[in-house]
Amino acid sequence: MKGKILVACVGNVSLGDDAFGVELGNRLARVSLPDHVVVREFGAGSQDVVNALVGDWQLVVLVRALQQGERPGTVSIFEPEVPKGVQPAAPFDSRRADAGDILAEVTGLGGKVARMIVVACEPARLDPSATGCIRLSTPAQAALNEAQELVLRLVSTTAVAKAA
C-alpha cells in the first residue's frame, strides 16, 4: 500500500450526526479520485477501521463526527499523535476511541501510518430522532460541503507532494 492514501469515513447511520463520516464517504464515492486514493466507509464496525489501517499508508484521512465543544456543524482538522505508553481499552471501539488510540492500536498490530489527519464535524445530536428519522441534523448536513472540499484538498496536496 506504499504511497496510497486512505480516506476512512467512520460513523453509525442509526445515531444522528454520528453518520457524518459515512455521509461524506457516500459523496466522495461519486467524485473522480486518483487511483492511489482509496475511500472506505466504516459504519458501526469497531475493529474494521483498525484492520484497514494495518498496512503502509502515506496518509490516512479519518472523517467522523467528534464532540469537541464547538458549535454544531463546525468542521475541524488536526493531526493526532500516538499516546506514549497508553494502550487503548479492550475491547477496542473505534467509535469511542480518539484518533491517537486508533494509531496506537494500529502500531500495536504492526501497521504503519506515515501521517493521519482527522477531519471532524461537531455533532448537534448523536441519537436517533424522536420521530425515528435517521439523518443528519441541519448543521451537520450543512458542513458536508466544507468537509468534502477539505478532504479533496488534502488528498490533492498529498498527491502533488508525492509526485514532486
Q: What percent of the chain has pLDDT over 70?
A: 77
Residues 6+ apart with CB under 8 A from 153: none
Three cell numbers, residue 1: 500500500
Per-chain mean pLDDT for the chain: 81
Q: What is the pLDDT of residue 129?
A: 62
Task: For residues 17-23, give the mean pLDDT.
Answer: 92
CATH number at residue 118: 3.40.50.1450
∠ CA 156-114-34, rounded to 5°: 25
How much is the pTM?
Answer: 0.83
Three cell numbers, residue 93: 471501539
- Beta-ladder partners of 5: 37, 59
Q: Which domain holds residue 79?
A: 4-163
Helices 20-28 and 138-163, axial angle in degrees (round to 10): 50
Q: pLDDT confidence of 160, banded at 50, 70, 90?
A: very low
Q: pLDDT confidence of 40, banded at 50, 70, 90?
A: very high
Query: For residues 123 and 16, is the Cβ–Cβ distance under 8 A?
Result: yes
What are the tens digits of pLDDT across the range 43-80?
765 577 777 878 778 899 999 999 999 999 999 999 88
Number of folded domains that form the chain = 1
Q: What percent of the chain has pLDDT over 90?
A: 41
More confident residue, 149 or 130: 149
Helix, coil or strand: residue 63? strand
Query: For residues 3 and 115, is the Cβ–Cβ distance under 8 A?
Result: no
- Beta-ladder partners of 56: 112
What are the tens digits of pLDDT across the range 84-108?
665 555 555 555 566 767 777 777 7
